[in-house]
Chains A and B, each alone.
Chain A
Amino acid sequence: MTLAATALASALLVSACAAPSADSPTASVDRPWDEVLAEAEGQTVDLWMYGGDDRGNAYVDDVLAPAAADLGVTVRRVPVADTKDAMRRLLAERAAGEDDGSVDLVWVNGDNFATGQEAGAWLCGWSDDLPNMRYVSDEDPLVSEDFGVPVEGCESPWHKAQFTFAYDSARVTDPPTTVAGLLDWAEAHPGRFTYPAPPDFTGSVFVRQALYALSGGAEGVPAAYDEGAYGELTPPLWERLRDLAPALWREGRTHPRDQVALDRLFADGQVDFTMTYGPATLTELVADGTFPPTTRVLEVEDGTIGNASFLAIPASSPDQAGAMVVADLALSPEQQVAKADPDVWGQFTVLDIALLEDEAARAFDRLPDSPVVPAYDDLSRNAQPELSSSWVTPLDEGWRREVLGRP
């Protein structure tokens, strides 16, 4: 106990004294979990997360936080308008060499994780040792890489997402079967399709999905960004999206600002397709009458993009043990199944059901079958990996310049 505590203290001291560098500090290896639990007791974990998702907020406040309280850890949710706000704060703490920071846990993936990793702002080498990691498959590429950046124990998986198109089968009688086919359908049905404007999260992934479709699939696009590939692959993409624009909703002069705004257009019957990175919510939207009962998920033969999001602990966090306990709790089968319930939040689990004990596996089986959304296994068939996060900004910028700016 004392030895481990001294080791941790000196690790903190070293990381605090050293000039900020790109080397991520590492949590002391192979600490017995009981010690982490004991140290966590009484700590308050500031969880910074995007606050624009009501159901996500409610899940953390009403399900995760009470369970953490039972372990003696208080979860304080700090709502932010953009995860970049959390990044600004923790990078400032990193630059100041602070070891008593105010961010203990961040809901993160992609670009923001890569930024923190470059600055050495994350605590590393801890997530593989979480007890509940035994239910996560070693071979799952979604969990071992985050938008092309190796995770290396610097964040623990929280949930999976699968990009999904949904349509109203009463209005679309000839649904397309590929993404390229979807673009053709949009062109043939003026005013009945649109997508959120990047850099919105959903609009951004739609553009990447279109890039795959026009480049011969994910294999046609190098996962790591390079200017040559960008210069070669994007002109046809921009041309296709520019040509498509006049056939979009409101002649493409304006775009919905995010997925929920697109959902509203779909619910109001103004467009025939919507798209989301969180398809589990479709079930509830149909059940409560927001979406028509004839809503169906589009089966895309060439597969759609999937990703995972994570919980990361900043190196400057003073409550690292508490943060690890919360991250492990969030990964537990009980929490993962509660979170996957469409009535709660409807986020796909990162656990491998085959690795679960019988009782826990049955709990996942008992989750209500959706009349709208196929099971994750079907949904993620032929799933394509996300591009590296360094692709995201150039593509968002390129879309704004080449498609939005040149009608």
Chain B
Amino acid sequence: MRRVLPVAGLVLALLWLVVPLAPVLVWAGAERWSYPDLLPGAWGVTGWRDAAAAGLPFALLRSLALGLAVAAVATPLGVMTGRVLGWRLTGRPRLVVAALLVPLVLPPFAVAMGLDVVLIRVGLPELVSVVLLLSVVAIPYTAYTSATAFARTSPELEAQARALGATPRQARLRVVLPAVRGSILVAALLAFLVGWSDYVVTLLVGGGQLVTAPVLLGAAASGSGNDAAVAAMALATLVPPVALVTVAALRVRSSGRTAADRLPESVPPEERMR
């Protein structure tokens, strides 16, 4: 019984994620699907053609660019913060944590609504504003992910590299960073997803300059009658992040294993005792 419950829980959780997607999957290949048929009456690629005609390929490219830009800003900043938190380099970790929580507690919609007037006044280009604002939303994720990684890695590692003659820069970039590489990848992925999937900030702060996949999807899904095209857009928006997460999960697992294998050599036995 004790074993069955977690498994059942896992299966339920997976079903909860996957079942709502089933109609989307079917619709994306449907030509016509009317009541009371359980399955579409005709299959085809009309949905994909309509979605492409509505500008889906470019919207996906724009989403990709936005995700990469957000990851490029939020990952380094998050890793720096994560190092400070994970290695307890600050006397006031609670203050840092509280500051990091703010963007998570405030809904992005409220942030966008409040900040858009300010950002317009400041006169920053819209695209810069979007990347900055989304990076603020992404930094808590990148910071926490890397903080756990640093907490698992001994600060002694850096000291040892220094003792062996590495410059501070070399010690950080060539010894510490590779040791937390897997987590940095996950952090970058989370930041990428923030940029990839955002609707409100991209539209309101971006001033419509950046029609990303979610913006296109949101507009198309607000009408009905084009379910096949909407399903195609939803699927195209969903698959790349899922594929990325899967690849990252596999890589982190294998690199985690090798890191664990390597660890006994790099840390002397008496260190491990502590």
Residues of A at the B interface (CB closer than 8 Å) are 46, 48, 50-54, 57-58, 78-82, 85-86, 88-89, 92-93, 95-98, 101-103, 257-258, 260-261, 263-265, 267-268, 270
Contact = CB atoms under 8 A, between A and B. Distances in A.
A79 B126 contact: no
A87 to B, nearest CB: 11
Contact of A81 (B36, B121, B221): B221
6 contacts: A52-B224, A82-B222, A85-B203, A89-B203, A92-B120, A96-B117
Given A102-B208, A260-B225, A261-B224, A92 B219 contact: no
Main secondary structure of the interface of A (DSSP, over half): mixed
B222 A50 contact: yes
Contact of B223 (A48, A98, A258): A258
B219 A51 contact: yes
Contact of A101 (B34, B121, B207, B225): B207
A88 B114 CA distance: 11
Q: Which of A260, A261, A263 has the most CB of B within 10 A?
A: A260
Contacts of A51: 216, 219-220, 222-223
Interface string B39-71: 000000000001001100000000000000000
Contacts of A98: 120-121
Contacts of B126: 102
A257 B211 CA distance: 26
Q: Which of A78, A82, A267 has the most CB of B within 10 A?
A: A78
Contacts of A79: 211, 215-216, 219-220
B34 A267 contact: yes
A214 B268 CA distance: 88
A97 B121 contact: yes
Contacts of B113: 88, 92
B204 interface: yes
Given A52-B220, A79-B215, A81-B218, A57 B204 contact: no
B223 A92 contact: no
Contacts of B220: 51-52, 79
B222 A102 contact: no
B208 A88 contact: no
Chain B: interface size category: 20 to 34
Contacts of B50: 54
Interface of B: 34-36, 50, 53-54, 113, 116-118, 120-121, 126, 203-204, 207-209, 211, 215-216, 218-226, 229
Nearest to B53: A58
B117 A92 contact: yes
B224 A257 contact: yes
A260 to B, nearest CB: 4
Nearest to B114: A92
Given A52-B223, A54-B226, A88-B113, 7 more contacts: A52-B224, A89-B208, A93-B120, A95-B117, A97-B121, A261-B224, A270-B35
Contacts of B207: 89, 93, 101-103
A80 B219 contact: yes
Contacts of A57: 54
A260 B223 contact: yes
B223 A89 contact: no
Contacts of A268: 34-36
Nearest to B219: A51
Q: Which of B53, B117, B211, B223 has the most CB of A within 10 A?
A: B223
A66 to B, nearest CB: 15
Contacts of B118: 96
A78 B54 CA distance: 11
A65 B169 CA distance: 55
Closest 5 CB pairs of A and B: A52-B223, A51-B219, A102-B207, A79-B219, A78-B208
A316 to B, nearest CB: 9
Contacts of A58: 53
Nearest to B121: A96
Contacts of B53: 58
B180 to A, nearest CB: 40
Contacts of A48: 208
